[in-house]
Structure 1
Amino acid sequence: MGFLDSVLKRNSELEWLFDLDLAFDTSHRAYLKKMALETCINFIGRTISQSDFRFMNNGKRQLNDWHYLLNVRPNTDQSAADFWQKFIYELIDENEVLVILSDNNDLLIADSFTRVEYAVYPDIFKDVTVKDYTFQRSFKMNEVIYLSFNNEKLTKFMDGMFDDYADLFSRIMETSMRANQIRGTVSIDATQSLNEENRTKLQTFIDKLFNSFKNNSVAIVPKLKGFDYNEVQDGSNNGKSIEELTKLKRSLIDDVADILGIPSALIHGDLSEYETSIKAYVKFCVGPLVKKISDELNAKLIDKTEYLNGSRVEVRGVTEKELIENAEAVDKLVASGVFTRNEVRELFGAERSDNPELDKFVITKNYQSADSVEGGESE
C-alpha cells in the first residue's frame, strides 16, 4: 500500500474518486431495491386504502364501533386510509401482517412479533411490539387479524435479482461517468526542474484549475507562460448511457410488478392500454387481496351463528365497476329481466333500497316472445 498511498497523496482528486468508487455499489443497490418495491407496493396500498368496509345484516348496513374503526379512525395516530396503506405494505413487504385490538379499543399494526405454532390449538403471538412498546401479554389467533401474502418473503425471494440489476446498473453508471468526465492535458516548460516544492505548487494549481471547471458553469483561468492546458473532448457516449439506465430501472419495476400481478402499463401511466390493464389489475391483483381481507374479517369479527344468519363483512369500492360508465349495461340487465334493480345496485357497490318496487323483475317488450307481442290493426 506504500506506493498507492504516495500516488493518492500527490493527487487529492484521485483520492476522492477512489473513495467514491468504494461506496458507489452499495448505495445504488439500496436505491434500486427501494425504488422498485416502493413504486409497486404503494400502488397497491393506495388502491386498497380506498375500500369501504361494510357490516351487513340481511342486506342492510349496520353502523357500529367496527364500522368506525375500519372506515374512519382505527387508532389515535392513523386515519383509515393511512392504516390500510400501511397494512398492505407490511403484508407484501414482510409477507405477513398482524393487527391487534388494544385495551383502549385501538386497532394497531404490529412492527414485530413472534409466532408460536401449534398443530391442533390456535397459534399464539408473543413479544408483540408496536413502535417502542412491547405488550407483555400473548395474543391467540382468534383474537387478532393476521394475514400472510405468499409462501416466501418478497424481499428474500428477489434479493438475487436485485443484486444482478445493481451490478449492471453500477457498470452502466461507471461507463457513463467515465465517458462524460472532464479530461485534459497539461504541458509545462521542461527546462525548469521539478523538485518537491515546484511539484507541490504545480499540483495545487492543477487542483484549483480542476475545481473551477467542476464547480462553476463559467470558469476563467489565467494563461501562464510555460503552462498550457488543453481539454480533450469525448463524444463517444452521445447520451446512450442515460437511456440505458432509464430502461434498466423500468425493467426492474416491470419484474416486480409482474410478480405482484400489476400490469406494467398502469405503473408507467400508459393510457393506451388502460382499460385492459385495469381489468387485469382488479381481477388478478386487487381482487385476491380483497378476498383475503374480507375472509379474515368475517372469520374474526363475526361468529359462525351470525354469519349463517346473514351477517357479513363486505369490502366494497375497489373491485366494482363504475356505474356511470356502464349505464347502458345496467339498463340491459334490468330490461331483460335477469336482475332486479336492487340486485344491480349491489353488483355496482350500492346499498339496497327499501322500496319494494326495486325487488320486482322488470322486462321490456323487446325481450318478450314473438307470440306475445301485438302488432298491426285488427280487422
Structure 2
Amino acid sequence: MGFIDSVLRRNSELEWMFDLDLTYETTQRAYLKKMALETCINFIARTISQSDFRFMENGKRQLNDWHYLFNVRPNTDQSAADFWQDFTYRLIDENEVLVIKTDSDDFLIADNFTRNEFAVYPDTFSNVMVKGYTFQRTYQMDEVIYLTYNNEKLSKFTDGMFDDYANLFSRMIEIALRNYQIRGMVGIDSTQQLTKENRTKLQNFIDKLFNSFKNNSIALVPKLKGFEYDEVASGETKGQPIDELTKLKRSLIDDVANILGIPNALIHGELAEYETAIKAYVKFCISPLIKKIEDELNAKLIEKKNYLKGSRVEVKGITEMNPLEVADAVDKLIGSMAYTPNEVRVKLGDEPSLDPRLDEHYFTKNYQPAGTVEGGENNDNN
C-alpha cells in the first residue's frame, strides 16, 4: 500500500482534492523556425530581386522581349522584383524551383510538380500546378527553367535543430514567467464532504480565480467561508534574465545564416564589420547563386551557336563594385595600361561606351593614347 493510499484511507474526505487541476500546459514554439527561415531566406531573396538581367550580343545590350519579361513584367500578376524574390525563396526553401512559359508568353513559378528522371534522356515535368490549376501537358527539360540549390533540402538540416531550440526556448520562457509570477496558496476546508457537482463548481471557481490574477491588473475576489487565498510571492525577478531569450533567438538565426553562407554580422546589421561582411556575402553566397541562374538562362534561352558568337544572358547589379568607392583603383588600372576604360566599365557593371577612344590603352597621368607618346628629348640628334 502506497503512502498516498494510506493517507486517503485515514482521511477519505481529502480524496476529492486530488482531482482538482491546478496546472496549465505551455504551447510549442513553432514560430521560431519560421522566424529564422524568413529572416535569412528573405535576406537573400531581396538581394536577388534587385538584379538587372541583360541580354548581350557582341558585347552590346539588346532591348528585346526577353529584357521586358525578366526586368519588368514576367507575368500578368507579378512585377519582376516580386517574381525573382519568390523565385529565390522557393529555390532555397524547397531546394528546387520550376518556371514554365505559357502560350501567352508568361513565366509562371510552379507551386507543385512531378519530376520524371531518366538516365540517358532529358528529364520531364508533369502534374505542374500553379495557383491550384494543373497543366495537363508534360514539359521537357529544355522547355522550362529549373534550378536546384543544394544536394539536400534545407529542412533536413534544420528540423532536428529547431526541435531542440523550441524545447529549450519553451523552458526558458517558463523560467522567465515564473520569475515574474505572483504565487498564492488556496486553503479549503476539507472537513466537509463535497459532491461531484460541488467539486465541479469549486474547480470552475479556481479557474476563474487564476485567470483573474493572470489577465487583470486589478483583481477582486470574494471572500468565502472555508476558502482562503494567501499570496506567497509577488513578481520576484531572480534567475534567468530576459536577455537570454534574445541571445537564443539570435543563435538560432546565426545557425541558419551559416548554412546559407550569410555572415552573422550582416544579418544582424552590425555596422562595425559591414564592409568585410558584405564582401564575404557577395563572394560566397550571392555570386554562386547568380552563376547558377546565369548558366540556366543561357542554356535554355540562348542557342549554342549564338552563345559561341558572343550572345549571352548576364545578371548584373549585385556583385559589381560601386565606381565611386573604387575610383582610385580605376585610375591605376587605366593609367598602368592594364585595362581599357571600356573593360573597366564592364567590370563595374556598366555597358561599354560607343566612343572608340575608350577601347584604347592609356598610361601616365596625362591619359594620352599609347600610340601618341613622344620623347627622346636627349637623343643624339639634339
* TM class, shorter-length: 0.7 to 0.9
Identical counterparts, % of pairs: 68
| Structure 1 residues 126 and 198: alpha-carbon distance in aligned structure 2, compared to 1, 3 A threshold | closer
| Structure 1 residues 362 and 240: alpha-carbon distance in aligned structure 2, compared to 1, 3 A threshold | same
Q: Which has the higher helix share?
A: 1
Q: Partners of 1:87 and 1:53 in 2: how far apart?
A: 14
- What SS does structure 1 have at the residue aligned with 2:280? helix
Matched, 1:303 2:315: no
Decide whether the 8 Å contact of 1:175 with 1:241 is kept in 2: no
Matched, 1:137 2:137: yes
Q: Partners of 1:134 and 1:366 in 2: how far apart?
A: 65
CA RMSD of aligned residues (A): 3.1
Alignment partner, residue 88 of structure 2: 88
- Measured after TM superposition, the shift of residue 37 of structure 1 is 1.0
Alignment partner, residue 34 of structure 1: 34
| Structure 1 residues 332 and 171: alpha-carbon distance in aligned structure 2, compared to 1, 3 A threshold | same
Q: Partners of 2:156 and 2:135 in 1: how far apart?
A: 28
The AA in structure 2 aligned to 1:361 is H
- Measured after TM superposition, the shift of residue 249 of structure 1 is 1.3
Structure 2: runs of 5 or more not aligned: 1-7, 9-15, 369-374
Structure 1 residues 17-166: aligned runs within 5 Å: 17=24, 20-21=25-26, 24-25=27-28, 28=29, 30-166=30-166
Structure 1 residues 181-220: aligned runs within 5 Å: 181-187=181-187, 193=192, 195-196=194-195, 206-220=206-220
Alignment partner, residue 352 of structure 2: 352
Matched, 1:329 2:337: no
Q: Partners of 2:190 and 2:286 in 1: how far apart?
A: 77
- What SS does structure 2 have at the residue aligned with 1:296? helix
The AA in structure 1 aligned to 2:167 is D
CA deviations 1:97-148 (Å, max 9, x no partner) are: 1111011100011111111112221111111111111111111111111111
The AA in structure 2 aligned to 1:108 is L
Q: Between Structure 1 and Structure 2, how many residues are aligned? A: 360
- What SS does structure 2 have at the residue aligned with 1:323? coil
Structure 1: runs of 5 or more not aligned: none
Q: Partners of 1:132 and 1:244 in 2: how far apart?
A: 44
Alignment partner, residue 175 of structure 2: 175
Using the size of structure 1 for normalisation, the TM-score is: 0.85
| Structure 1 residues 203 and 125: alpha-carbon distance in aligned structure 2, compared to 1, 3 A threshold | closer
Q: Partners of 1:201 and 1:69 in 2: how far apart?
A: 68
- Measured after TM superposition, the shift of residue 9 of structure 1 is 6.8
Matched, 1:294 2:298: no
CA deviations 1:161-180 (Å, max 9, x no partner) are: 22222222222223333333
Matched, 1:362 2:362: yes
- What SS does structure 1 have at the residue aligned with 2:273? helix
- What SS does structure 2 have at the residue aligned with 1:125? strand
| Structure 1 residues 366 and 233: alpha-carbon distance in aligned structure 2, compared to 1, 3 A threshold | farther
- Measured after TM superposition, the shift of residue 330 of structure 1 is 1.7
Decide whether the 8 Å contact of 2:175 with 2:240 is kept in 1: no
Q: Partners of 1:139 and 1:191 in 2: how far apart?
A: 76
CA deviations 1:293-318 (Å, max 9, x no partner) are: 00111111000111111111000000
Q: Partners of 1:187 and 1:10 in 2: how far apart?
A: 13
Q: Partners of 1:54 and 1:201 in 2: how far apart?
A: 74
- Measured after TM superposition, the shift of residue 160 of structure 1 is 1.7
| Structure 1 residues 373 and 164: alpha-carbon distance in aligned structure 2, compared to 1, 3 A threshold | farther
- What SS does structure 1 have at the residue aligned with 2:312? strand
The AA in structure 2 aligned to 1:233 is A
Matched, 1:256 2:256: yes
- Measured after TM superposition, the shift of residue 204 of structure 1 is 5.8
Decide whether the 8 Å contact of 2:182 with 2:235 is kept in 1: no
- Measured after TM superposition, the shift of residue 280 of structure 1 is 0.3
Structure 1 residues 224-239: aligned runs within 5 Å: 229-233=229-233, 237-238=237-238
- Measured after TM superposition, the shift of residue 336 of structure 1 is 1.9
- What SS does structure 1 have at the residue aligned with 2:363? coil
- Measured after TM superposition, the shift of residue 290 of structure 1 is 0.3
Of residues 329-338 and 307-316 in structure 1, the stretch that sits farther from structure 2 once superposed is 329-338
CA deviations 1:315-348 (Å, max 9, x no partner) are: 0000001111222222222222211111111111
| Structure 1 residues 366 and 354: alpha-carbon distance in aligned structure 2, compared to 1, 3 A threshold | closer
- What SS does structure 2 have at the residue aligned with 1:233? strand
